[in-house]
Structure 1
Amino acid sequence: MAHKKSLEALNFTLKDLRRNNNIFGGLMILLAGDFRQTLPVIPRGTPADELNACLKASPLWNNVKTLSLTTNMRVQLQNDQSAAQFSKQLLAVGNGKVPVDATSGLITLTNDFCRFVDSQLALIENVFPNISDNYQNYAWLSQRAILAAKNNDLYVACSRVGKPSALFVLTSDQKTKNVVYQRALQ
């Protein structure tokens, strides 16, 4: 989500360029997306700083008319029951309809919502099974992702994809050459 100052800067710029003192220089502005998904990033900021930087904290927000889409077209067009169930569960989490544990303040996710693993290696194997056979299959790769709150967690996870069985070097023609097994390096 953009910082509220970005929207306010756009407002002042349009007023100046159009020589019109109405909001956004008299233009209608369309903001699209799910504002629940991301907060503005404030380096070394507190949660209060992030909330204060949201578009909803801007005085301009009082002039916003919110329209909501009610049908998930991707799910409807695919006619996939598991995708429909996942969509409903995700919406319940986003709408705050999932019960919160009074002690921890956390919600409990079920096995039908996500997969639980015991380690990072188990996660990688679950998301990228047989990566050594499929690393050039772009359709297969495009259906997989590991998401994390911090980039460092992703760097560590990405560095472990393809391990621990063998280390390999890919030449420019993408053929495996000079396979060196880990035990030989120790």
Structure 2
Amino acid sequence: MSLLNDKQRHCYDVVMSRIKNGCIFNSNGIFLNAPGGTGKSFVLNMLLDSVRSQGKIALAVASSGIAATALHGGRTAHNMFKNPLMEYNEIRTCGIKKNSELARLLQMTSLIIWDEVVMANKNTLTALDITLRDILGNNKFMGGIVFVCAGDFRQILPVIRGGGKNEEIDHCIKSSYFWEGLTKLELTENVRLNTNDVENKSFAKSLLGIGTGETGPVRLPRNFGIKVKTRKDLVKKV
């Protein structure tokens, strides 16, 4: 706990208070806006560990497999919740039967964390919301389970087959019916900038500059990557 900065501690306290006293709050949904380097994974894992240490169930998912590995016990959202494969404009429910083991697990769950939610199609979140309301018999958002979704809008939005910018925006979480009802929290202090490692500090600063639009054209350094001349060499190097 002593390693948390002020904003990280505030996020931690807000989520834990919702779990403890959920009935007195209007919203059980929280969005954590956190650019890379602000300690998002650190905070999310502390929440998971704290809830589990109390003997409660906390589920951790992410929109991609790589992001899921950063969470303790993390899995992809599609794997955990049996999200249907659907066209971007469809709305369906998750493939979870009411009398299944997974349904019983969800009925006992106190916290769900969904990382990299910005790249998720809003309809996959809608499918989970509808499914949880049905399984838990509770018409509150996500069936009343405290739901923390995290991400960074500097990164990629949902990929829409054949779609353009407007379609991507229309299907991101900000365009969902529940966005306005989410409690918004954010992390701003980039912990990577506090390192004594000059190279990492420089990389973190340039990455933030790209994300905020303060950097002009991005030029890769000459020693970035390995140059190959044939497909065979490419396969070998990879």
TM-score by length of 2: 0.42
Structure 1 residues 21, 159: closer, same or farther in 2, change over 3 A? same
Q: Deviations over 1:101-126 (max 9, x none)?
A: xxxxxx323x5xx32x6xxxxxxx85
**Identical-pair percentage:** 36
- Specify the code of the residue in structure 2 equivalent to 1:24: M
Structure number with greater Rg is 1
Give the corresponding residue for 2:217. 108
Shift of 1:12: 0.8
Other structure's SS at 2:146 match: coil
- Specify the code of the residue in structure 1 equivalent to 2:162: R
1:28 is the counterpart of 2:126: no
1:159 is the counterpart of 2:231: yes
Using CA pairs below 8 Å that are at least 6 residues apart, which structure has the higher relative contact order?
2
1:85 is the counterpart of 2:194: no
| 1:107-126 equivalence runs, <5 A | 107-109=216-218, 114-115=220-221, 126=224
Shift of 1:20: 0.8
Other structure's SS at 1:39 match: coil
- Specify the code of the residue in structure 1 equivalent to 2:217: T
Among residues 226, 229, 235, which one is paired with 1:128 in the alignment? 226
Shift of 1:47: 1.5
1:68 is the counterpart of 2:166: no
Contact 2:129–2:141 (CA under 8 A) maintained in structure 1 = yes
Shift of 1:41: 1.0
Contact 2:158–2:172 (CA under 8 A) maintained in structure 1 = yes
- Specify the code of the residue in structure 2 equivalent to 1:17: I
Other structure's SS at 1:31 match: strand
Q: Deviations over 1:38-75 (max 9, x none)?
A: 11111111211111111111111112223222344456
Give the corresponding residue for 1:5. 123
**RMSD over aligned Cα atoms:** 3.0
Other structure's SS at 2:151 match: coil
Alpha-carbon distance in structure 2 between the residues aligned to 1:26 and 1:46: 35
- Specify the code of the residue in structure 2 equivalent to 1:61: W
Give the corresponding residue for 1:44. 162
TM-score by length of 1: 0.53
Give the corresponding residue for 1:177. none
Gaps of 5+ in 1: 99-106, 118-124, 132-156, 169-186
- Specify the code of the residue in structure 2 equivalent to 1:81: V
Other structure's SS at 1:44 match: coil
Gaps of 5+ in 2: 1-118
Q: Deviations over 1:1-50 (max 9, x none)?
A: 11000111111111111111111111111112323211111111121111
